């Protein structure tokens, strides 16, 4: 199930939606033109009061199928200026399939997701006990956490082709 957020008076809508201005209207390959359009969409996002937020894309996120394409796109070229060389950090997420790609702002500029821990315990809770009928020791590790969407303005998606 894709990430969803509560916006528009509590209605459950997708994180990436045309109404949010963070979903490409036309799927495109990673190129100077398509990434420029995505950057423009992020830069022109407005806050609740209508003020321009000026989101700066920091991360280009792709699946393994686009890793080499994204590396080539972000590489510094000789003889030709690449405006995105050194501007975006590539992140490859193995669970992303297909040709879609994403841009995200740095969390310090606009947090898109929030990681929360149960009762403020930020690491695993380890329990152990000695065996009674055999010479052994049993261990149990529990890590309770959840992830939620905070804001759509720091993210952009292109479905790719």
> What are φ and ψ of residue 27, in 5° steps?
-60, 140
106 burial via Cβ count (<10 Å: 0-12, 13-18, 19+)? middle
Q: Per-residue pLDDT for the chain (161 aa), expressed as one digit of tens each?
A: 455 554 444 567 789 999 999 999 999 999 999 999 999 999 999 998 999 999 999 999 999 999 999 999 999 765 678 889 899 999 999 999 999 999 999 999 999 998 888 887 889 999 999 988 888 999 999 999 888 888 999 999 999 99
Give dist(CA 103, CA 20) in Å, integer. Answer: 14
Q: Number of helices and strands (H, E) in the chain?
A: 2, 10
Question: Could you tell me the pTM of the whole model?
Answer: 0.80
Q: Check: CB of residue 109 under 8 Å from CB of residue 154.
A: yes
pLDDT of residue 96: 95
What is the per-residue pLDDT for 35? 97
Separation of alpha carbons 62 and 55, rounded Å: 20
CA dist 129 → 24, 125, 133, 139 (Å): 54, 14, 12, 7
* HSE (side-chain half, CA atoms, 13 Å) at 5: 17
């Amino acid at each position: 199930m894709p990430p969803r957020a509560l916006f528009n008076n509590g209605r459950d809508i997708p994180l990436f939606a045309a109404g949010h201005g963070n979903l490409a209207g036309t799927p495109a390959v990673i190129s100077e033109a398509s990434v420029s359009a995505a950057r423009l969409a992020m830069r022109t996002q407005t806050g609740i009061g209508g003020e321009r937020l000026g989101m700066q894309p920091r991360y280009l996120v792709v699946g393994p199928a686009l890793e080499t394409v994204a590396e080539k796109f972000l590489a510094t070229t000789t003889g030709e200026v690449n405006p995105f060389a050194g501007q975006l950090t590539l992140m490859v997420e193995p669970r992303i399939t297909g040709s879609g790609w994403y841009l995200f702002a740095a969390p310090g500029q606009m947090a898109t997701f929030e990681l929360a821990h149960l009762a403020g315990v930020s690491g695993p809770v380890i329990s152990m006990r000695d065996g009674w009928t055999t010479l052994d020791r049993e261990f149990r590790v529990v890590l309770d956490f959840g992830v939620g969407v905070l804001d759509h303005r720091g993210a952009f998606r292109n479905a790719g082709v």
